[in-house]
Chains A and B, each alone.
Chain A
Amino acid sequence: MFHEIVKEIADLPLIRVKLEEVSILPGPFTMSFGFNLAPLSESIKNIGIVNSPVVSKSEEGTLHVVTGYRRVGALRSLGKKIVTCRMVQKADLPPLQGLLLSLYDNLATRKFNPVEKGMILSRLSHYLPRKDILSNYMGLLDLPEHENTLDAFVAFDRHLEEPLKTDLARGHLSVQAARMLLGMNPEHRCVIGRLISDLNLNVNQQKQLIEYTYEIAKINGSEISAVLGDDSIGGLLANASLNLPQKGRAVLDAMRRRRYPTLTKMERAFRKKVSRLHLDGKVNIQPPPYFESGDYRLEIRFRQGKELKAQVDRLAEIASLETVNDPWKEDE
């Protein structure tokens, strides 16, 4: 049935329609979100539209874009008054077929962002069983055929707030982070999302910020907004001497200190102990990750054996080297 409809539409004559008659609302078939019209407008300005949009006409005469929403938008932005397109009667185009037409038409020319994938999966789920979506459409969207992934992307479409969707579509918010935020209430996730966006955090930093914030709020029995609204965080954000990446790291460090008070205290104590050794800049002593294995690491950078020998001799003369040990032992 779908192939017949596509063929029929392809056989339809191209007609000229006034742009003002085409609804500016996305409608049920559009799968575009958070896009940048500029490159497309530039293309259309130079070579026009090669692949014409398809619009559907309702019984009341309203025109909705079936496929080509961004092309129509680009024409509008260029100040054009007319779009050349194919027109199908709404009654002749069942919703699922319209959706698939739009999907395959877009798929041929571009990649979808995570919000658009969510829009597609969310709409398909109105018409198709989950099993079909998992086996036939997740792969098309470069997604694994996992139920959890399907649920998460559908939730992006249905539950994420507009600013978060925009950040997700633009890549400012990672898919992993967005999935973590889904588990929070809307107010809380917007607060965290705004901070992620403001600090331009990378994928790992986003995850850390969400984890720390969630857990500190839970431990303290406080609201997420209160955790992030803390004076110490506010002070870092307002600190004009820090650039954006420095602010991001400083905020995460502050959050880590709050989440892991004992661990970070020991890390500081260890650094202090090592700094008292006044080691050469080319010598470094590192604790094991989280002090778990008990094996400390000494690193010496050198260019020649002679330099290495000199460094080792200098080290051997530092009596306080013997004090390097687990920092909590000093506290006993």
Chain B
Amino acid sequence: MSRYPLDRIVVDETAVGYETTADILKKMEGVPVVDHSEAERTIGQDRDLGKTTLHLLAHKGEMLKPCPGTREYICCGYQILHMAANCPLDCSYCILQSYFNQPNLRVFVNLEERLEEVFSRIDGDPDTIYRIGTGEFTDSLALDPVFHWTELLVPGFSRRKNTVLELKTKTANIRTLLSLPERDRIIVSWSLNSPEMTARNEHRAASIRKRLQAARECQREGFILGFHFDPLVPHENWQQGYLETLDLMDKYIDPKGIIWISMGTFRFMPQLKQVIRRRHGHNPILNGEFVPGLDGKMRYFKPIRMALYDFMRKHLEEWHENLGLYLCMESHDVWSESMGWSPHDSGGLSRFLDERVGRLFG
């Protein structure tokens, strides 16, 4: 049922009685169901963050959360729809490895009932553009073949004129999405990197070519696209590597149907370093010149970041002049020097992106 190695299921007591729970257990018949204490007991290095354990539970906290930006850098004002925590993909640089303090692939079975409160919040605030995504705390589409999240989310969001739903992925799992009739207000986005970075770091994810082929299919089927070059990493021959990806974008994608392309360089909370060393010891991702940022995260030294952005911006703008390029969590001076303009603050960036929404969706 899943393309990812899910070898056991934990059913939290809060998940009992939900139709979704019963559906998932039926779909995943044959995968052993273990009790909570057994799951806790065996979550050690042997099970490694519980990436192969599907943990069903009802989410009690906020469903819509502002993206965890910080005052010190310019943030886009994105909202995260919290439908699951952790990810079946295994990217060596992934911040989720140290972000959540609980293991397992945690999927919220009460998404459907909690969506109502999300919609009522959106409807009660018609003058605000809600840019909402599901791809921050998990991959938006990796488990769609199992959970059919898109069937649940797309119709409701597509109807609302003051919102867009961004489904961000590193996979090519677009079948369920394409089978739906709705297109309006839905953005399908792919995280991109150089082919070499992808091969070395984005374990279990689709290749760049496959991602872009899936993107082309979505575009042909009428979806608006987004792309995210995040994390940009200055690896060996990185210019060549990123140009290869841009060539593939040129080959497969019509740039006029792109709402935005974000860029962000690799950054991480200091505690992630130990996790990466333990889980991906030989990976060179930590070899860069990282310095403490104003938000406590480690970032590449500023001129290194600017060189990456400047290179990408130049080449992306050569491809098309109006791609909605923006930087994720960067300062005004980095914006100015590498992008040639700056939104000055988070409000400015929000307005820029809201305008992109208006332009592409009306």
Which residue of chain B has the shortest Cβ distance to A290 in the bound complex?
Answer: B291
* Chain B residues with CB below 8 A from A293, complex form: 72, 294, 331
Which of B284, B287, B299, B302 has the most chain A CB atoms inside 10 A of its CB? B302
- If A262-B303, A263-B301, A328-B303 touch, whether A294 touches B331 (CB-CB below 8 Å) is yes
Specify which chain A residues have a CB less than 8 angstroms from the CB of B289 in the assembled complex.
259-263
**In-complex Cβ contact of B294 among A259, A262, A266, A292 (8 A):** A292
Q: Is B152 an interface residue (CB 8 A)?
A: no
Question: What residues of chain A lie closer than 8 Å to B277, measured between beta carbons?
Answer: 183
Residues of B within 8 A of A145 (CB): none
Bound CA span A290–B299, Å = 10
Given A292-B293, A292-B294, A293-B294: A219 in contact with B303 (beta carbons within 8 A):
no
* Segment 302-334 of B: residues with Cβ below 8 Å from A: 302-304, 306, 331-333
CA distance A266 to B307 in the complex (A): 15
The CA of A259 and the CA of B289, in the complex, are separated in Å by 7
B301 and A262 within 8 A (CB) = yes
Most chain B beta-carbon neighbours within 10 Å: one of A183, A218, A219: A218
Q: Which residues of the partner chain B approach A281 to less than 8 Å between Cβ atoms?
A: none
Chain B residues in 8 Å Cβ range of A294 = 331-333
> Are B292 and A218 neighbours in the complex by a CB distance under 8 Å?
no
On whether the beta carbons of A292 and B302 are closer than 8 Å, the reply is yes
How many residues of chain A get a CB closer than 8 Å to chain B's CBs?
18
Chain B residues with CB under 8 Å of A183's CB are 277
> A266 to B72, alpha carbons, bound, how many Å?
23
Write the nearest CB–CB distance from A273 to chain B, whole angstroms.
15
Q: How far is the CA of A326 from the CA of B302 in the complex (A)?
A: 10
Interface residues of A in 94-115 (CB under 8 A from B): none
Q: Which among B72, B284, B302 is the interface contact of A219 at CB below 8 angstroms?
A: B284
Chain A residues with Cβ below 8 Å from B72 are 293
Residues of A within 8 A of B332 (CB): 294
User: What is the number of residues of chain B that contact chain A, defined by CB distance less than 8 Å?
Assistant: 19
Q: Judge whether A289 and B292 touch: CB under 8 Å.
A: yes
- Chain B residues within an 8 Å CB radius of A328: 302-303, 306
Q: How far is the CA of A125 from the CA of B333 in the complex (A)?
A: 55
Q: A291 at interface (Cβ–Cβ under 8 A)?
A: yes
A219 to B, closest residue via Cβ:
B287
A167 contacts chain B at the CB level, 8 A cutoff: no
List chain A residues, Cβ under 8 A from B304. 262
Contacts of A261 in B (CB 8 A): 289
Q: Chain B residues near A263: list those with CB within 8 A.
A: 289, 291, 301
* B180 on the A face (CB < 8 A): no
Give the residues from 263 to 293 in chain B that come closer than 8 angstroms, CB to CB, to chain A: 277, 284, 286-287, 289, 291-293
Which of B284, B286, B287, B302 contacts A291 (CB under 8 A)? B302
Q: Report Cα–Cα, A262/B302, bound state, in Å.
A: 10
Residues of A within 8 A of B286 (CB): 215, 218
CB within 8 A of B291: which of A215, A219, A292, A326? Answer: A292
- Report A-chain residues with C-beta under 8 Å of the C-beta of B333: 294
Task: Decide if B287 touches A260 in the complex (CB within 8 Å).
Answer: no
State in angstroms the CA–CA spacing of A271 and B331 once bound together: 24
CB-nearest residue of chain B to A263 = B301
Contact with B along A205-223 (1 / 0, CB 8 A): 0000000000100110000
Query: Digit string of A16-56 for contact with B (CB within 8 Å is 1, else 0)?
Result: 00000000000000000000000000000000000000000
A161 to B144, CA, bound (A): 52
Closest to B303 in A: A328
Contact A260 B301, beta carbon cutoff 8 Å = yes
Q: How far is the CB of B141 from chain A (nearest CB, A)?
A: 35
Q: Whose C-beta in chain B lies nearest to the C-beta of A221?
A: B284
Q: Give the CA-CA distance A326 to B301 in the complex, in Å.
A: 12
* Whole-angstrom distance between the Cβ of A19 and the nearest chain B Cβ: 48
Chain A residues with Cβ under 8 A from B303's Cβ? 262, 266, 326, 328
Pair B287/A215 contact, Cβ less than 8 Å: yes
Would you give the 0/1 interface string for B61-92, flagging 1 where the beta carbon is closer than 8 Å to chain A? 00000000000100000000000000000000
Query: 7 tightest CB-CB pairs across the interface, nearest first?
Result: A290-B291, A328-B303, A219-B287, A294-B333, A263-B301, A260-B289, A262-B289
* 8 examples of A-B residue contacts, CB within 8 angstroms: A183-B277, A215-B287, A262-B304, A289-B291, A290-B291, A290-B292, A293-B294, A294-B331
B interface with A by C-beta (< 8 Å): 72, 277, 284, 286-287, 289, 291-294, 299, 301-304, 306, 331-333
Not counting A290-B292, A294-B332, a sample of 13 additional A-B residue pairs whose C-beta atoms are within 8 angstroms of each other reads A218-B284, A218-B286, A218-B287, A219-B284, A260-B289, A261-B289, A289-B291, A290-B301, A290-B302, A292-B294, A293-B294, A294-B331, A328-B306
